[in-house]
Amino acid sequence: MKIPPKDRLEIVLMADVGVPIKLWVESTGALAKRIEYGKEKSIRILGGAAILFIFVFYLFPAAVVILLLLGLLVLFPLKLVGMAGYSRGT
């Protein structure tokens, strides 16, 4: 696994748990930020995103597939060159 860059935008889910989930994207020094959410807030974020995804997929299935493919087109190259990633733990 690649070590996260020094300047990054990092979102830490389950920050108050022993093994948090860290999502990060490389950015400039001016935009670098760390956002931490506790267990309760993380569960609300993930649960709300899941409910919203199911609701939108039910109403607009073709649009969701197109958005997932666009997201894949953006995130896969970033992951490939090490500009985006995730890690578990400290």
pLDDT tens track of the chain, all 90 residues? 567 788 899 999 999 988 999 999 998 888 899 999 999 999 999 999 999 989 988 898 888 889 889 989 998 998 888 888 888 876
Residue type, 9: L
**CB neighbours (10 Å) of residue 20?**
19
Interaxial angle between packed helices 39-59 and 61-80, expressed in degrees from 0 to 180 and rounded to the nearest 10: 130
Q: Exposed, middle or buried, 21 (CB in 10 Å: 0-12/13-18/19+)?
A: middle
Tokens representing residue 74 in the block? 């953006």
End-to-end CA distance of the chain: 14
Our measurement of the distance from residue 36's CA atom to the centroid of its chain's CA atoms, rounded to an integer in Å, reads: 12
